[in-house]
Structure 1
Amino acid sequence: MATAEVEEQHLVQSLTWWDGFVVALANPAFLIAALGASIGALGTLGAVVLWTFSVLVGALQNNIYGELATMFKDKAGGITLFAHEAWRKYATFVGPLATFGYWFAWSSVLAVTGIVVGTLVQAQFFESTTWTASGGGFDLSLPILIGMAAMILVAGMNMVGLRQSVAFTYLTGAMLCLPLAVLMFLPYVSGDFSSGNLDWNIGEGGGLPLVLVWLYFMGWSSYGFEAVASLAPEYRDPEKDTPRALRASAAFSVAVYALLPLGLGGTLSTEAVTADETFVAFYSTAFEAIVGSGLANVMIICLVAGLLLSLNTAVLDGSRALYGIARDGMTVRQLGVLNRAQVPGRAIVVALVMNLFLISFFASAVEIFAAGNLGYMLAHVFALSGFLLLRRDRPNWPRPLRLSSAWVVIAGVLAVWNLVLVIFGGFVFAEEYGYGFDKTLIGVGVLALSLVLWVFRRVGQDRKPLQLRDPVPDVPENAEKVGAPVGVA
Structure 2
Amino acid sequence: MSSDHYPSHPQTDLNPAGDCSRAHCEPKELERSIDWKQGLAIALGVPLLILPSIGYFTGYVWAFSIILWGLTILLGFIQNLAFGELATVFPKASGLPGYTQTVFGSNSNKINQGKFKFGKFIGGFSAWSYWFGWSPVLAIYAILIGDYFQGLIPALAVIPKTFLSLLVGGFIFGSLAVINSKGLKNGARAGYVLAVVSLIPLMVITLAPFLTGDFHIANITGSWFPVDWTWDLQHVLIIFGLFAMAEWSACAWETAAIYGPEYKNPNTDTPKALLVCGGICLVLYILVQTSVIGTLGVDQVIAQPVSPMLPLANISLGSLGASISIIMLIGAMLLIIQTAFLSSARSIYSMSIQGNLPAFLSKLNSHGHPMNAMAADAMFNMCLILLGNPTAILAASAIGYMCANGISLYTYFKVRNDPEFSRLERPFKAPRGWKNVALATAILNVPFFLVGIIYLNSLELGWATTGVGFFVLCLYIPLWFYSQREAKEGKAAEKDVILGEISV
Superposed pair shares fold, TM > 0.5: yes
Q: Does 1:151 align with 2:170?
A: no
Matched residue type, 1:115: I
Tell me which residue corresponds to 2:88.
70
Contact 1:377 1:422 in 2 (8 A): yes
User: 1:113, 1:311 within 8 Å by CA — same for their partners in 2?
Assistant: yes
Shift of 1:171: 0.4
Which residue matches 1:182? 204
Q: How does 1:17-56 map to 2 (within 5 A)?
A: 17-43=36-62, 45-56=63-74
Question: What are the equivalent positions in structure 2 for 1:324-339 lying under 5 Å apart?
Answer: 324-339=350-365
Partner of 1:92: 120
Which stretch has the larger CA shift, 146-155 or 329-338? 146-155
Cross-structure match for 1:236: 264
Q: CA RMSD in A?
A: 2.3
Which runs of 5 or more structure 1 residues have no equivalent in the other structure? 134-138, 466-489
Which has the larger displacement, 388-397 or 183-192? 183-192
Distance 1:345 1:8 in 2: 12
1:384-395 correspondence runs (5 A): 384-393=409-418, 394-395=421-422
Amino acid at match of 1:87: F
Q: Cα–Cα, structure 1 residues 84 and 202, in superposed 2: closer, same or farther, change >3 Å?
A: farther
**2:55 and 2:307 in contact (8 A); partners too:** no
Aligned to 2:302: 274
Q: Deviations over 1:324-367 (max 9, x none)?
A: 1100111111101112332111111111111112123132x221
* Partner residue in 2 for 1:289: 315
Deviations 1:431-463 (A, max 9, x none): 13x433322222222221112111111124434
Equivalence for 1:372 = 397
Q: Is the 8 A contact 1:11 1:233 kept in 2?
A: yes
| Shift in CA distance, 253/317, structure 1 to aligned 2, threshold 3 Å | same
CA distance in 2, matches of 1:271, 1:144: 34
Preserved CA contact (<8 Å) 1:193 1:266:
yes
> 1:164-216: per-residue Cα shift (whole Å, max 9, x none)?
21110010012222222124322111111123433334563653222111111
Q: Is the 8 A contact 2:51 2:307 kept in 1?
A: no
Paired residues, number: 450
In 2 relative to 1, CA 399–113 (structure 1 residues): closer, same or farther, beyond 3 Å?
same
Amino acid at match of 2:327: I
Matched, 1:311 2:337: yes
* Distance in 1 (alpha carbons) for counterparts of 2:218 and 2:431: 44
The SS at the match of 2:162 is strand
**Over residues 249-286 of structure 1, what are the superposed CA-to-partner deviations in whole Å (9 max), with x where a residue is unaligned?**
1111111111111111212223223323xx33332221
Counterparts of 1:281 and 1:302, CA distance in 2? 12
The separation in 2 between residues aligned to 1:37 and 1:429, in whole angstroms, is 12
Indicate conservation of the 8 Å contact 2:206/2:287, yes or no.
yes
Cα distance 1:7–1:215, how it changes in 2: closer, same or farther (>3 A)? Answer: closer
Say yes or no: does 1:381 pair with 2:406.
yes
Between the aligned partners of 1:335 and 1:224, the Cα distance in structure 2 is: 24
Counterparts in 2 of 1:203 and 1:103: CA distance versus 1, 3 Å: farther
Q: Is the 8 A contact 2:238 2:455 kept in 1?
A: no
Distance in 2 separating the partners of 1:272 and 1:392: 51
Indicate the SS of the match to 2:385.
helix
Separation (CA, whole Å) in 1 of partners of 2:408 and 2:183:
29
State TM-score, norm by structure 2. Answer: 0.84
Once the two structures are TM-superposed, the CA of residue 144 in structure 1 deviates from its matched residue by: 5.8
Paired with 1:422 and 1:47, the residues of 2 have a C-alpha distance of 16
Is 2:453 aligned against 1:426?
yes
Query: What residue in structure 2 maps to residue 252 of structure 1?
Result: 280
Q: Provide the TM-score with structure 1 as the length reference.
A: 0.86
CA distance in 2, matches of 1:424, 1:140: 31
Q: What are the ranges of 5 or more consecutive residues in structure 2 without an aligned counterpart?
A: 1-19, 108-117, 492-504
Q: Could you tell me how far apart the structure 2 residues matched to 1:426 and 1:177 are?
A: 29
- 2:461 maps to a residue whose letter is Y
Equivalent in 181, 194, 206 of residue 172 of structure 1:
194
Distance 1:55 1:318, change over 3 A: same
1:320 CA drift (Å): 0.6
Q: 1:376 to 1:8 in 2, by over 3 A?
A: same
